[in-house]
Amino acid sequence: MMTPDPAALSLGAAFVAGIAGSGHCLGMCGGIAGALAMRRPQAAFGTKLGYALAYNLSRITSYAIAGALAGLLGRTLLNAVDVKPLSIAFRVVAGAIMIAAAAQLMFGWRLLGPLESAGSGLWRRIAPWAGRQGQSGGLGGAIGLGLAWGWLPCGMTYSMLLLAATTASVTTGAAVMLAFGLGTLPSMVTATVAFERMARLLSSRATLRNVAGALLLAFGLYTAGSALIKLRPAPPAMEQQQGHEHMHH
């Protein structure tokens, strides 16, 4: 039987978190996305869509850059210590992050809250620049705003960044954040093009949140469980060996 690849599980979890966490994203980024749309209420649908894609693709690009940096950090840590238990610990942490994200989606438990406060210091440095980009208008402004917005302190985003770090790979780290960003696209583009209310409807379905939460929970339990199993010694093999020794006697 084929066992799922840990990287593939992380990518799947990030995508699911992106889709289901869009409600959380909208609370923070939706207002900005809506403001982009409101600034051009008479603009043609194509123009609004262009702005929406520019803003959101820039936002996802900043996610991917952050994911690559997180993966590099994980890789550096792994190389510095270079022990198998650390790579197993990374997998357990990855599983725990997925479980925490599931708990937030299904029960509203803010287990990821401390991550948001940790990132607010960085955001305070980026916020003034983001404000200027937003006011400048035009396509360049939308791109600049998207690049800045990817660094907004958001528990779900930061937890996915931690997940990216546990991959200990620059490319997989970037891919995890890319998958997360793509998951947020449907409701975020809708918020920029149409109405925030309609986008909120897309992302606030309790069924969607619960299904996604259950999926994340399963991913998390499998990821952490399979890593923990590797830590256990295999007693049956030992017993077999002893049996062989007795036969030789």
Which has more confidence, 177 or 148? Answer: 177
pLDDT of residue 53: 84
pLDDT of residue 120: 67
Q: Give the pLDDT band of residue 237 (cuts 50, 70, 90).
A: very low
Q: Which of 225, 219, 224 is nearest to 91 (CA)?
A: 224
pLDDT at 134 over 80: no
pLDDT of residue 123: 67
Q: Are 129 and 137 in contact (CB under 8 A)?
A: no
CA distance 164 to 74: 8
Q: Which residues have a Cβ under 8 Å from the Cβ of 142 and sit 6 or more positions away?
A: 36, 51, 54, 55, 58
Q: Is 4 left (phi over 0), alpha (psi -120 to 50) or beta?
A: beta
Of the segments 2-11, 179-188, 189-198, 235-244, which one has the largest average pLDDT value? 179-188
pLDDT of residue 238: 44
CA distance 229 to 115: 28
Residue 24 has φ and ψ, to the nearest 5°, of: -70, -45
pLDDT of residue 245: 47
pLDDT digits (tens, 9 = 90+) for 154-210: 778 888 888 999 999 999 999 999 999 999 888 777 766 665 555 555 555 667 778
Q: What is the mean pLDDT of residues 48-68?
A: 88
Which has more confidence, 146 or 132? Answer: 146
CA distance 223 to 229: 10
DSSP string spanning 145-165? HHHHHTTS--HHHHHHHHHHH
CA distance 145 to 134: 6
pLDDT at 239 over 60: no
Q: Which of 35, 60, 9, 1 is nearest to 178 (CA)?
A: 60
- In the chain, where the domains are located: 6-248
| Alpha-carbon distances, residue 205 vs 20, 22, 58, 70, 211 (angstroms) | 9, 11, 27, 31, 10
pLDDT at 51 over 60: yes
